[in-house]
Structure 1
Amino acid sequence: MIQAITVMAGYTENGMLLVALALRFAMQLRLEDTVEQLMVKLSTRSAPISEEENYLYRLARVWHGVCNLELFFSLDGGKMPATVLRTTSRRIRALVNHPSRTSPDIRLLSQLELNILRSNAYVNIARHSQDLDESSLRSTVRDTAIELSLWLEEWSTIICSDTAAPDRPRAMTNLHIQYEWALITLYLKALSIFGDLLMTDFQREMVRSAKEAAVRHLQHLLETPTTPSSPNSLSPSQPPSPTYLSTFKWAIDFVWAKCAFSVLLVLKLSLLLRDPLPSIILLLRDAHQVLEELHKITVGHIAYFQILQTSVEKCEGALKEHMARLEQASGVEGVEIGGRGDAEDDFQEYAPSEFVFEWDFPGLNLRHVPLGWQDLFVDLDSVL
């Protein structure tokens, strides 16, 4: 029953309520204690694995599945954490080496460890909200980025060594997407504690780092994971390999929401930072490709598909307006373009209700307000 409720939580607007219910049942059954029992057996086992240990492993899988989804809602949905996981990276790796472990378990355990890293980072960042010491905050962000990089490297090794995995290339792509998402939210979370940003070197670095991670995130979404093979094994009549986005047909709401938000974010940040027009055009082309791929498999996620479509259309309008203003100004000497046009204002103010009421993704309301002698970035989330 707990597993059924957890699965339902991933595909419904009432996900927070359902995952809270699943967690409550899991705690009533004391599933967390079964994890401790399993760890004791792992550390003291001297004989072949017993049926009891296999049973404990299955219960631990259920507990970690519920906790992982609860962490998603806490980190990205604005939900207050309902429990504190009593685990470490060392314990998680011990489960990876368990004979009962399956390939899906690797994805679950890697996500669990990543979300624990993100949760700890958010707690550390929140501690800087009182003194706003950029030097100390920079150290926190840098240390977390290093931890995330080590996470990617170590779990990449684990996945590559899992020879029994049916789809290692897709698992690797998924790992990179999770890594870039963690970086995006890390940098934007660090910015969110400042409120009005006068664009110090640190703050500008965070904005640019978030945009660069979002660009890489977009590129990974468009990958076509393939297993290396010899040229002789390739057949002209062989159908093309499915793209990574083709798996979204069965993805939970969070994955669709994250995809739509990340595309909207990278387009917004590229305009905010006044990236070169060719660069923005390439990003817009990639966003169109994401839209086309998802159009093939959109089932039950119409809202997020429409958000993605609207984001692309509004960005196109803003870009066309900006290019028209550039062309107009180029014909008049001494005229400079200042401020933004109506279309760009419309795009920058676009905040889908799903990202306001259902999810708590950072950076959506970041605004650029030119003040002549300085640039001001305003996070409207902190002033409204």
Structure 2
Amino acid sequence: MQQAGTRGRSGRAAWLALGMGLAGAARIGAAPEDYVVRTTPAARLHRLEVLRFARDWQRELCGVIGLPVPQTHAPVEIELGSAAAEPAAIDHAVLRGSQGYFGLVRIPAPEQIDAEALQFALTAVIVRTGIYNQATNPATVTEPPVWFVRGLARYGDRSRRGADFESAYALWSCARLPGAGELWRAGAGSPAAHHPGVAAQLAAFCGSREPRRERWQAWCRHLGLGGAWAPADLARLWTDEADLAVLDAAWDDWLVARTRRIFDPGRTPPGVVRRFRSLLLLYPWECDNHCSVVTRAGLPLAWCIENPDADGLRRAAAAKARQLALQGAGRDAAFQAMTAAYAEVMRRMAEGAPAGELARMWRQAEARRRTVEAGGQATPDRGR
């Protein structure tokens, strides 16, 4: 990312000094505290679309995730169009004005917009403006790793969140992600630099830590004043303790809790289907009464329905039925039917149904699960 620069903000010559060669620049459609768009005549048709996109993006990053708004000292400026024969790629800069730092986004070819590049440029402007406006000496500012800014940009795109989480969770659950000391390391060697989904989850983790706005402000202040991008410092900023073990624990707990999040209503990611199997066990902490046959390793529900009158199992089945029924909330119809089938088995077990009836219902639920795992629509088993 470019270093912050300085330029005056009046006159066409200042714009020409940026090397953009803009002609006919004019302010359009933005309040003084919001955005200023300067456009070539050929790019004028795209100005409202770009302005709407920029405002919506800022609303997501600042209003929802909690990053500081970038217009504390001046509007964000957008250069739309280029007089060059072959326009360059979307770019950004953080510049010093008369009152403080402000962001600039250059979009040379709005008719061929690269949405991902624009998302990154807008995100970088928001992040870096927030950092530089906390600085007392711009030469000592610590720039955040590019992978983290890209992670924020990915997390800002709601359409990516479900897939990114599943990708990161799969790595974490297979012990393929290192501890905080390595995971948060700056530089291209960081695991997050190689796994964009992981970078997005680290950004999401930061955005989940309350009070989020105050924490983001403290993060910007830390980097703006030259504080190091060091895992221990990040642990202090996001967990209040400069202890990597605490940061690791908070990250682990957050990932596990996030498995219950519905990112795309009506859709069931493969990871959710895989994780459902782990619920087909009964654990001691799920029982509201002591069951001597239930161990910490988990007792298969298949064994439970074959031995429903074993010590305390029928009473424990009621709570398990409620847990299984909840798993289908927000998922597709086939997955909901499958979870409801398993829940009904446990409900009938709690009501005292005989083992034969439970076995028939269990086979039907298992048939639904196999169909769901195969990617098809679940249908009940008409067998024995």
* TM-score calculated relative to the size of structure 2: 0.30
User: Which of the two has higher C-alpha Rg?
Assistant: 2
More strand by share: 2
TM-score norm. by structure 1 comes to 0.30
